Amino acid sequence: MNDELLIKLANEAKENAHVPYSKFRVGAALLTKSGKIYTGCNIENSSFGLSVCAERVAIFKAVSEGEKDFEKIVIVADTDETIRPCGACRQVMAEFGDFEVIMVSKKGEISRSSVRKLLPYRFNGDFLKI
């Protein structure tokens, strides 16, 4: 799966962002190991704490369809520097292991990283085995 297609789909999803408060649009496209793609956009709420990021929307859509093995996620936003996933999204990504994270800026510049690199020293389910 080429990254260009994922970037295009993430940009299309970004247009669906519901952002009346921040006006900050984010789009995501998640590729599963089985080859399926799930997109997401950020969805804000007048009760601000209920807002949810684009990455989590894409991940929750995938998981709700029975997909938990991820190859990569592309995140796009109209930022000068490549967008970075927030801490909460890093933790949600880490629940599903290590996969590539591709972050894209307004001009199409790309930064590549991985869940493990973005969230070292993380909390995980092993700590619950007490």
104 lines the binding site for ligand THU (CB under 6 A): no
For ligand THU (CB under 6 A), the number of binding residues is 15
13 lines the binding site for ligand THU (CB under 6 A): no
Residues with catalytic annotation? 55
* Residue type for position 56: R
What contacts 85, CB < 8 A, 6 or more positions away? Answer: 53, 55, 75, 93, 101, 103, 118
Question: Given candidates 22, 34, 45, 124, which one binds ligand THU under the rule CB under 6 A?
Answer: 22
Question: Given candidates 89, 101, 102, 115, which one binds ligand THU under the rule CB under 6 A?
Answer: 89
Cβ proximity to ligand THU, 19 vs 37, nearer residue: 19
Q: Residue 77 Cβ, how far from ligand THU at the closest point, in Å?
A: 7
Q: Sort 46 into a burial class: Cβ within 10 Å, 0-12 / 13-18 / 19+.
A: exposed
* Displacement of CA 26 from its chain's centroid (Å): 9
92 lines the binding site for ligand THU (CB under 6 A): no
The residues of the shown chain that bind ligand THU, judged by CB under 6 A, are 19, 22, 24, 26, 42, 44, 51, 53-55, 75, 83, 85-86, 89
